[in-house]
């Protein structure tokens, strides 16, 4: 499977400034961090806990990886590289009913990511939001939350891959709450995640799961539209 290199997407997101505050505020902040740590630990318990978990659930073979990649990137539509952004997003939104469960979760993340890229490459914001709303349920606040969650989900995946290897990019297909986890994640959570993930189980079997990294899937979906472009991945207000 020959894959063109993906653009250098840099996930960025809003990080709240902690400020100085009083002693009481700092104590509250420490308690809040411990709450975040417990929440992260609980989420990490949902990850596969051994080789049996990694090998028995979908995807478990290179063929599984390639099959879901092709479905998620509309590889059967050779014309997708020539589509304008509106047509591409409308075409992708129309595929929502082809996915369910955790596949639908990853599909939704790709849709939001592609909307980011389209906006960064000239698609007006209102058209981006309209396209996203065609396959992402919820009102304006939900769409905004998911737009801000997406870059964090990419960086969460990259942090997990440092410990789990590239099979970390399978996790949106293995953990129901992956996108929701990103919605509630803050910049302060990353140091906690790095500390807690060190104990996670790294699967022994290698699969070409790097193709499931969201920027790689978006690059593939766009069918060459981004071949010469490098854009900063950032949330849209």
**Beta pairing, strands 232-233 & 10-11:** parallel
Residue 22 pLDDT exceeds 90: no
Per-residue buried b or exposed e for 201-228, using 16+ beta carbons within 10 Å of the residue's own CB = eebeeebebbbbbbbbbbbbbbbebbee
Structure tokens at 166: 């590239």
In this predicted model, what pLDDT tens digit does every residue of 211-236 receive, in sequence order? 999 999 999 999 866 654 444 344 33
Q: Identify the pLDDT of residue 9.
A: 45
CA 31 to mean position of chain CA atoms:
29
pLDDT mean across residues, the chain: 83
Share of the chain above pLDDT 90, in %: 65
Q: Identify the pLDDT of residue 183.
A: 92
Q: Is the dihedral of CA 108, 112, 115, 121 positive or negative?
A: negative
Q: Identify the pLDDT of residue 61.
A: 94
Tell which residue, 219, 114, 109, has the closest CA to residue 155.
109
Q: Is 84 left (phi over 0), alpha (psi -120 to 50) or beta?
A: beta
In this predicted model, what pLDDT tens digit does every residue of 181-211 receive, in sequence order? 999 998 889 999 999 999 999 999 999 999 9
Residue 93 pLDDT exceeds 70: yes
Q: Identify the pLDDT of residue 170.
A: 97
Angle at 65 between CA 62 and CA 68, to 5 degrees: 150
Residue 18 pLDDT exceeds 60: no
């Amino acid at each position: 499977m020959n894959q063109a290199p993906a653009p250098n997407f840099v996930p960025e997101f809003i990080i709240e400034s902690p400020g100085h505050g009083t002693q009481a505020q700092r104590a509250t902040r420490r308690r809040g961090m411990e709450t975040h740590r417990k929440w992260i630990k609980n989420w990490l318990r949902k990850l596969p806990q051994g080789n049996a978990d990694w090998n028995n659930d979908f995807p478990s073979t290179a063929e599984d990886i390639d099959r879901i990649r092709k479905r998620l990137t509309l590889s059967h539509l050779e014309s997708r590289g020539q589509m304008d952004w509106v047509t591409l997003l409308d075409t992708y939104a129309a595929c929502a009913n082809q996915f369910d469960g955790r596949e639908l979760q990853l599909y939704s993340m790709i849709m939001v990511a592609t909307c980011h890229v389209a906006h960064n490459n000239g698609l007006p914001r209102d058209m981006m939001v309209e396209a996203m709303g065609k396959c992402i349920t919820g009102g304006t606040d939900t769409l905004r939350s998911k737009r801000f969650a997406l870059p964090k989900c990419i960086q969460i995946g990259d942090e997990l891959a440092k410990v789990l290897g590239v099979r970390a990019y399978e996790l949106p297909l293995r953990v129901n709450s992956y996108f929701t986890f990103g919605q509630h994640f803050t910049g302060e959570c990353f140091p906690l995640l790095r500390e807690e993930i060190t104990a996670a189980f790294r699967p022994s079997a290698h699969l070409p799961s790097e193709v499931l990294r969201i920027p790689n899937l978006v690059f593939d979906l766009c069918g060459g539209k981004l071949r010469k472009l490098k854009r900063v991945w950032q949330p849209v207000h």
